[in-house]
């Protein structure tokens, strides 16, 4: 008879934590390596290429940073919300609303051109925050589960985007295609020469991540957010206004996602398109947790995940594997990485023929 039991770990050292994560990462690389080998590709060569394409060339590194901007902005905000146990799944929709607000400023407002950049960022933040405020208020007033509402708001935002692109904002010069006209040049964020990095957004991301880190670790509200997250009942007894904290984290995470949307329209695409976000708002959930809900660590995790996505271009382009293999590759590595979370908190006991094996 074989028995398997799962028990909570009592003491977890940091070193143990790290070694578990490295172990699971290696395990996933070995498994994906077998897949590479099945396709007749030397796994070590494949990994070398993926790494070089993500971080080892000027082009790869710059593209990793371009991708890190929206993912990092969403992830740092989500980290704060999740810290308060407010499960905002709606960064995707909040990003889209931010992009739409920036588009309105760029194409349809009469704001002086020198102010357009700043106003787009403010409007984007406000739009994302307001979009997130709806589920926040529903949660506070009616106790509606925010996982459902934020997720559903994503679909509403997509329909809204579809409506403006096929209706009132459809660019007159776009031959009927669902695209807006291009932004005027003063509404485009400048790029670092030779790359596609829009550095306004990059600077903003770095500054905001540091501010959020300080906010969470050094301020009274940050402390309250942590208490609300770990024990809402205790927080209430301690006289903490739970509703106010829920609203705060939703506004912050929604606003940051909104800024990510501004960066995509003003920095990358130069216009609003239907496919403005290939799922950045969902992808960002992963680095938020991977970073242990710490804004700076979430930023680092976003850099890693963006590198993984950019590097895996090479799976298709130079290793000549199918695009679906890229999804399998990314999926396996992320699954193992997230799965390792369980192993850091629980241990598994396998008992077979009188022997005990602890994992």
Partner 1 sequence: MSIPKISGIMVLLIAIFFAVGVAIGYVAGGWGKVPGYEYGMPVKKLKAGFIYVGPVEDFGWTAAHDQARKHVEKLFPWLETVYVESVEEAEAARYIERLVREEGADIVFTTSYGFMDPTIDVAQRYPDKLFFHCSGFKRRPNSGTYFVDFYQVYYLNGLMAGALTKTGKVGYVAAHPIPEVIRHINAFALGVKEANPEAKVYVRWLHEWYAPELAREAAQALVSIGVDTLAFTEDSTAIVEFAQQQYEQGKQLYVFSHYSPMQNVGPDVVVSGQLVHWEVIYADILMKVALNVYNNTNLENVDYLWMLKEGAVELGGKPGVPVNPKFIDELKNKYLPGKSISAYDAVMNRLALMKEANVPFDPFTGPIMDQNGNIKIQAGQRATIEQLFTEQMNWFVDNIIGSPSG
Name the site residues for partner 1 (rule: CB under 8 A): 53, 57, 59-60, 63, 66, 162, 166, 172, 175-179, 182, 196, 264, 268-271, 273-278, 310, 313, 316-318, 320, 322-324
- Strands in 2-8's sheet, in edge-to-edge order, are 2-8, 346-352, 355-358
Minimum CB separation of residue 126 from partner 1 in Å reads: 23
Minimum CB separation of residue 317 from partner 1 in Å reads: 6
Minimum CB separation of residue 123 from partner 1 in Å reads: 21
Question: Measuring CA to CA, which residue among 107, 142, 131, 164 is closest to residue 260?
Answer: 131
- What Cα–Cα distance (Å) separates residue 97 from each residue in 64, 91, 128? 24, 10, 6
Measured CA to CA, the distance from residue 216 to residue 222 in angstroms comes to 4
Minimum CB separation of residue 203 from partner 1 in Å reads: 22
Measured CA to CA, the distance from residue 103 to residue 169 in angstroms comes to 9
Distance of CA 65 to the CA centre of its chain: 13
With respect to partner 1, which residue has the nearer C-beta, 252 or 259? 259
Judge contact between 259 and 270, C-beta under 8 A: no
What residue ranges in 202-243 does DSSP mark as E strands? none
With respect to partner 1, which residue has the nearer C-beta, 45 or 351? 45
Judge contact between 47 and 29, C-beta under 8 A: yes
User: Quick one: angle between helices 91-108 and 58-83, nearest 10?
Assistant: 120
Minimum CB separation of residue 330 from partner 1 in Å reads: 13
With respect to partner 1, which residue has the nearer C-beta, 225 or 310? 310
Minimum CB separation of residue 278 from partner 1 in Å reads: 4
């Amino acid at each position: 008879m074989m028995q398997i039991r799962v028990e909570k770990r009592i003491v977890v050292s940091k070193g143990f934590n790290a070694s578990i994560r490295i172990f699971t990462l290696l395990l996933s690389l070995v498994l994906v390596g077998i897949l590479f080998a099945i396709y007749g590709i030397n796994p070590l060569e494949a990994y070398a290429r993926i790494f070089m394409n993500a971080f080892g060339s000027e082009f790869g590194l710059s593209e990793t940073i371009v991708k890190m901007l929206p993912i990092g902005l969403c992830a740092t905000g989500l980290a704060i919300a999740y810290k308060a146990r407010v499960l905002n799944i709606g960064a995707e929709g909040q990003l889209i609303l931010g992009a739409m607000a920036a588009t309105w400023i760029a194409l349809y407002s009469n704001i002086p051109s020198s102010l357009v950049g700043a106003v787009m960022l403010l409007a984007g933040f406000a739009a994302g925050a307001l979009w997130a405020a709806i589920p926040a208020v529903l949660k506070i007033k009616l106790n509606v589960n925010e996982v459902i509402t934020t997720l559903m708001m994503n679909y509403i935002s997509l329909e809204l985007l579809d409506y403006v692109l096929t209706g009132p904002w459809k660019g007159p010069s776009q031959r009927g295609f669902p695209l807006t006209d291009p932004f005027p040049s003063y509404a485009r964020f400048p790029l670092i020469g030779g790359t596609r990095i829009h550095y306004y957004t990059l600077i903003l991301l770095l500054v905001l991540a540091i501010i959020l880190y300080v906010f969470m670790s050094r301020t009274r509200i940050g402390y309250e957010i942590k208490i609300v997250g770990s024990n809402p009942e205790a927080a209430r007894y301690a006289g903490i206004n739970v509703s106010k904290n829920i609203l705060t984290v939703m506004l912050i995470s929604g606003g940051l996602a909104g800024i990510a949307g501004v960066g995509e329209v003003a920095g990358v695409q130069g216009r609003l398109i239907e496919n403005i976000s290939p799922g950045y708002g969902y992808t960002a959930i992963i680095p938020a947790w991977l970073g242990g809900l710490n804004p700076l660590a979430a930023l680092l995790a976003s850099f890693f995940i963006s590198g993984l996505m950019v590097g895996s271009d090479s799976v298709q382009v130079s290793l000549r594997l199918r695009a679906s293999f890229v999804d399998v590759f990314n999926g396996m590595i992320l699954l193992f990485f997230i799965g390792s979370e369980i192993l850091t908190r629980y241990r598994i006991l396998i008992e077979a023929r009188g022997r005990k094996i602890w994992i």
